[in-house]
């Protein structure tokens, strides 16, 4: 049992480092679909993740299709500021996949269109664009954990 966090084409190393740290402290798994806008060896990524990298479960993919092939029955949920359904209205399974797009563009429109029934948003003040990616991931992960009794966490 673990929440699966999926980042599609992340661009900002500090965000990915912070997300890696969130994954470790929550027992979540990180999946990165490339291409990335940086190298995982960059000091900004390592600094943001501090000494948590050694404990991170990380998988890398060249494409979203490769991820789908590995998890054909995956419980995928797509986070976007461009949809109407609030994230707390979804029922997350114990091994759900929370999918987030790159910082500058979010998830591709075609991906959202194909998965409209499973696309959710985090409510915000009108006129604001979106939360920081690492904050949005944290909100989604903790809602999935809450719905599943926080698994093994104390």
Can you say which residues are annotated as belonging to the binding site for S-adenosyl-L-methionine?
A: 101, 122
Which residues fall in the annotated binding site?
Answer: 101, 122
State the Cα–Cα distance between residues 22 and 16, nearest whole angstrom.
Answer: 10
Cα separations in angstroms, 130 against 21, 82, 84, 123, 142: 21, 10, 14, 9, 18
Other Cβ atoms closer than 10 A to 27: 17
3-class state of residue 2 by DSSP:
coil
Per DSSP, what are the bridge partners of residue 29? 4
**Cα–Cα distance measured from residue 114 to residue 147, given in angstroms and rounded to the nearest whole number:** 25
């Amino acid at each position: 049992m673990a929440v699966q966090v999926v980042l599609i084409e992340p661009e900002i190393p500090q965000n990915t480092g912070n997300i890696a740290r969130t994954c470790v402290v929550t027992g979540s798994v990180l999946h990165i679909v490339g291409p990335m806008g940086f190298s995982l060896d960059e000091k900004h990524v390592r600094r943001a993740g501090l000494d948590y990298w050694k404990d991170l479960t990380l998988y890398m993919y060249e494409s979203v299709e490769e991820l789908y092939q590995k998890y054909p029955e995956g419980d995928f949920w797509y986070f976007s500021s461009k949809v109407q359904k609030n994230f707390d209205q979804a029922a997350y399974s114990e091994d759900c996949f929370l999918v987030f797009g790159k910082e500058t563009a979010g998830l591709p429109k075609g991906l959202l269109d194909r998965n409209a029934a499973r696309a959710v948003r985090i409510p915000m003040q009108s006129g604001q664009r979106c939360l920081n990616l690492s904050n949005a991931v944290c909100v989604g992960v903790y809602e999935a954990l809450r719905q599943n009794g926080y698994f093994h966490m104390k």
